Amino acid sequence: MGRTIFLSFVILILAGCKDINTGTDDSKVTGPKLRFRLATELNFDSKIWEVSNLFKQEIEKESKEHGIEEGEIEVVFYDQGMIGTERQLLENCYFGIVEMVQINSSVITTIDPAFSLLDLPYLFITEEHHQRVLYGDTGRKFLDRLRAKKLLGLGFYSTGFRNMFYKQKEGKGCIQTPDDLKGMKIRVMESPVMINSINALGATATPIPHSELFQGLKTGVVDGAENSARIFISYKYYETGCNCFTLTEHFANQHILVVNEKWFNSLDKKYRDRINEVSQIIIPLFDNIWTETTKHSLEEMIQNNVVVNAIEDKKPFIERADRFVDEYLSENPELPLELLEEIKSQAGDYLNYDKK
């Protein structure tokens, strides 16, 4: 019943937005010739929101190369979860209720378990490695898998790494080794991969809704959590007593722009080409925004008396994580291990990935 009511609510909201016009008689069209909906759960302060914002700004510009005038394309933008959570947005895109959505890649695991490979701990060694995979042939292979679900993946957008933040234990400094995590309750998303990964690293993973995290930190339900620097600052977690932000860089994060395949294929070629082009144009623009956002967020932490520390040697963390990864892969033999090997092969010489 609840799902039915929600879908009815979404459809009611979207009723005010006319369907796109793909007719051939342009002389009868007034206003934009292509009008479609783009939705995200994010808000401006997250800065990850900029993926959708940049896409909207760029796609609405003139493109002489494609014979598109300024104002010919209009994007109706729904943000701040106005029409649903990321999981609901993915579902709405599948059914064609919304033409395009921006979601975290972890959400895709609900329809394709192969995307869980991207959630494995310490899969990506550096941000250069992360971007090399996402923006290259391997990333495209992941995106192309969405075709089997009647969706199209336009592009990946890196949001760096997740790190741990917590209340410093009395008489102890910020963590440097996995042993320092012993006895610490760390909030994680309700993801089996994330839960088991954090447990493998030495902490006690505690899945609670993000909406309850601030109070949970304040009252001691959890000792800390893990996320990006920007999220830490956006939600002012330093006000809960969290005074350590450790650059564990244990999970990589990425968002995806996804479109409904049937809708996309119905468009004139010039619009399809332009949408694909813009999805790539905004990658470096967003990378610059995210780099600056992370830098400023770390600076703001220090201004609020939060200790920001790097891990001097990540190898002990990686070795513990590998135990979980081996177990996870053995329990899920259907996963495309060839994609995992492609990712590892692009890591460079930072660590010897070929341990066996």
Q: Give the pLDDT score at 15.
A: 52
In this prediction, residues 77-88 reach a mean pLDDT of: 94
Residue 88 CB neighbours (<10 A)? 22
Q: Give the pLDDT score at 26.
A: 53
> Using CA atoms, how far apart are residues 40 and 51, in angstroms rounded to an integer?
10
In this prediction, residues 310-316 reach a mean pLDDT of: 93
State pTM to two decimals.
0.87
Angle between helices 192-201 and 315-331 (to 10 degrees): 140
What would the pLDDT profile of 145-156 be if each residue is shown by its tens digit? 999 999 999 999
Q: Give the pLDDT score at 348.
A: 77
In this prediction, residues 227-234 reach a mean pLDDT of: 95
163-251+297-345 to CATH, choices 3.40.250.10, 3.10.450.50, 3.40.640.10, 3.40.190.170: 3.40.190.170
Residues contacting 214, CB < 8 A, separation 6+: 235, 237, 240
Taking phi over 0 as left and psi of -120 to 50 as alpha, with beta for the rest, 144 belongs to: alpha
> Using CA atoms, how far apart are residues 271 and 275, in angstroms rounded to an integer?
6
Cβ atoms 146, 90 nearer than 8 A: no
What would the pLDDT profile of 90-130 be if each residue is shown by its tens digit? 999 999 999 999 999 999 999 999 999 999 999 998 999 99
Q: For domain 15-22+31-117+125-158+253-291, is the CATH number 3.40.190.170?
A: yes
Task: Please give the mean pLDDT across all residues of the chain.
Answer: 91
pLDDT of 5 over the 50 cut: no
The amino acid present at 74, given as its one-letter code, is E
> Using CA atoms, how far apart are residues 178 and 181, in angstroms rounded to an integer?
5
CATH 3.40.190.170 segments of the chain: 15-22+31-117+125-158+253-291, 163-251+297-345
pLDDT of 288 over the 50 cut: yes
Pairing of β 73-78 and β 224-227: unpaired
What does 177-189 look like in DSSP terms, one character per residue? Answer: SGGGGTT-EEEE-
What would the pLDDT profile of 29-71 be if each residue is shown by its tens digit? 568 999 999 999 999 999 999 999 999 999 999 999 999 999 9
